[in-house]
Amino acid sequence: MENFTNTTIDTTQLPRFEEVQFSKLHPNHWKVILINTAITFFVLAIVAGFLFYFNEEIEEARWHALIAFVVLLLVTILFSRIGFKKRGFAFREHDVLFQSGIIATKTIVIPYNRVQHVALHEGLASRYFGLAKVEIFTAGGSSSDIEIPGIEKEQAENIKQLLMGKIQKQL
């Protein structure tokens, strides 16, 4: 009891989540995004190609479709690039932060003592570059989960260990 103190906290002195320096995703993750976009658009192109090959009535629309296809591809790449640039993560002593968004800047904070479980996901393209995605789940439903892509496999394992350790310590 002697050690018990209950001093007033100065709320202005609290650590600020908005001033945290975010780590960027691994540069190779951009390549992963490009590969995935390329695959998606390749499939789309094949489907469109078949459609135009077998259906002669819409032959005149061919050039329009091509232009639309290229514009869509460029816009997708542009937005992916902005999205990639704006994503970042930070691990503080007591919580994990993830920032994302293209027109809005969205920051989500999960305190470690609210983490339910952690998963490590490796996509085919990311595996080639030795990258992995860390997924952090809470009890607050899917909107409150964090997915951090583009982390080196080893670092991702470390992050997972860190999180599991933090969760353990809470108990």
Q: Which residues make up the interface to another protein (CB under 8 A)? A: 9, 11, 14-18, 94-95, 101, 103-114, 116-124, 127, 137-146, 160, 164, 167-168, 170-171
Nearest distance in Å: CB 125, another protein? 9
d(CA 111, CA 103): 26
Nearest distance in Å: CB 36, another protein? 11
Nearest distance in Å: CB 75, another protein? 18
Nearest distance in Å: CB 28, another protein? 17
* Nearest residue (CB) to another protein, 36 versus 73: 36
d(CA 155, CA 132): 9
* Nearest residue (CB) to another protein, 37 versus 144: 144
Instruction: Please check whether residue 160 is in contact with residue 134, taking contact to mean a CB–CB distance below 8 angstroms.
Output: yes
* Nearest residue (CB) to another protein, 22 versus 137: 137
Q: What is the separation of C-alpha 49 from the centre of its chain, rounded to a whole number of angstroms?
A: 32
Task: Label residues 131-158 b or e (16+ Cβ within 10 Å = b).
Answer: bbbbbbbbeeeeeebbebbbbeeeebee
